[in-house]
Structures are given as structure tokens and as C-alpha cells.
Structure 1
């Protein structure tokens, strides 16, 4: 990863966050909670994939349709997040496998 890649990544992240800041306050709060949840759980392809930008697109469509954020995702934000990444490997799962001593994983 060169310096140009880092600069481009920062530029894209700033543009992404500018879109988040353009959302209504309730959408911003829920988006930031989803973001924190994903950073904690750690889907492996979070930064390389289109998960966060897809959620942002979904939220922008909801705003345009005049819907509240909880109408879109439901009352349980964590369940919504889990549903999105149910088939994706996470860093938490990899860690659990590594400490469980399953064959093919590192043992301590």
C-alpha cells in the first residue's frame, strides 16, 4: 500500500462521512451505532467491501421515501447488523476458533 492509496482511502472515507453527516439526526445516531458494532465484531471484509456504503445508500433511500430509521431496520439494531453479516467470517469467530484448539488452528 503506497502513500497514494492511503491518501485516496482517506479521501473516500471523508466523502463517506460527509454523506453520513447529511442524514437526519436519528439516522446518524443509528448509523454510528451500526458502525461501532461492526468495528467491534469485525467482519473481515468490512473495509474492503461495500457493507457500510450499502447501508448508507439504504438509509439515503429511506430518507428520500420519508421513512423513519427504525421503520427500515426494526427496533433491534444489533439483530439487523447480525443479519447483514450472518454469512461473513468475522475476526471474533477466527479468534474463538484459534483458542478452542480446533484442528487447523493455532494453539497456545
Structure 2
């Protein structure tokens, strides 16, 4: 990874965070909880993948239509997040796969 890639990545992340800060407070709080949860259990490609920006897109659309954040995702934030990543490889999956490898005698 070059210095230019790192700089571009930081620009994208700052722009993403600016979009999050522009959300209404209830949406912002739920997004931050989702982000925290996803960084703990989340998919391997979370940082550079489309999931987090997609959540912001979804939330911005909810704001535009006048819906509350819990109307969009329900009251169980973790279950909603689990549904988003159910078919994505996670670090937990990678760890389990590494543990299943047969030991060499």
C-alpha cells in the first residue's frame, strides 16, 4: 500500500464521517452502535467494503422519508447487523477455520 493509497483512504473515511455527523442524533447514535458492533464481529472487508457507506445511504433515505431509525432497523441493532453480514466471511470465521486445520504429526 502506497502513501497515496493511505491518503486517499483517509479522505474517504473523513468524508464518510462527515456524512454520519450530518445525520439526526438518533440515527447517528444507532449508526455508531452498529459501527462499534461490526468492528467487533464484522466482515473481513469492513474498512474498505461497501457496508458502512451503504448503511449511511440507507439512513439518509430514511431521514428523507421521515421515518425514525428504529422503524427502519427494529429495536435489536445486533440482530439487524447480523442480518447484514450473514453471508460475509468474518474474522471469527477465519479464526474457526484456522482452528479446524488438522495438526501435522
TM-score with structure 1 setting the length: 0.90
Provide, for residues 60-107 of structure 1, a one-character-per-residue CA deviation record: whole Å limited to 9, x for no partner: 0000001000000001000000000000010012112323xx246x78
In structure 2, list runs of 5 or more residues that go unmatched.
Answer: none
Unaligned runs of 5+ in 1: none
Aligned partner of 1:44 in structure 2 is 44
- Within 2, Cα distance between the matches of 1:15 and 1:57? 13
* Alignment RMSD: 1.5
| Distance across 2 between alignment mates of 1:32 and 1:23 | 11
Partner Cα separation in structure 1 for residue 101 and residue 51 of structure 2: 31
How far does residue 8 in structure 1 lie from its aligned partner after superposition? 0.6
Partner of 2:17: 17
TM value normalised by structure 2: 0.93
- The alignment partner of 2:88 has SS state of coil
Moved over 6 A (4+): none
Partners of 2:97 and 2:27 lie apart in 1 by 35
Q: How many residues were matched structurally?
A: 104
Where in structure 2 are the equivalents of 1:1-108 lying within 5 Å?
Answer: 1-99=1-99, 102-103=100-101
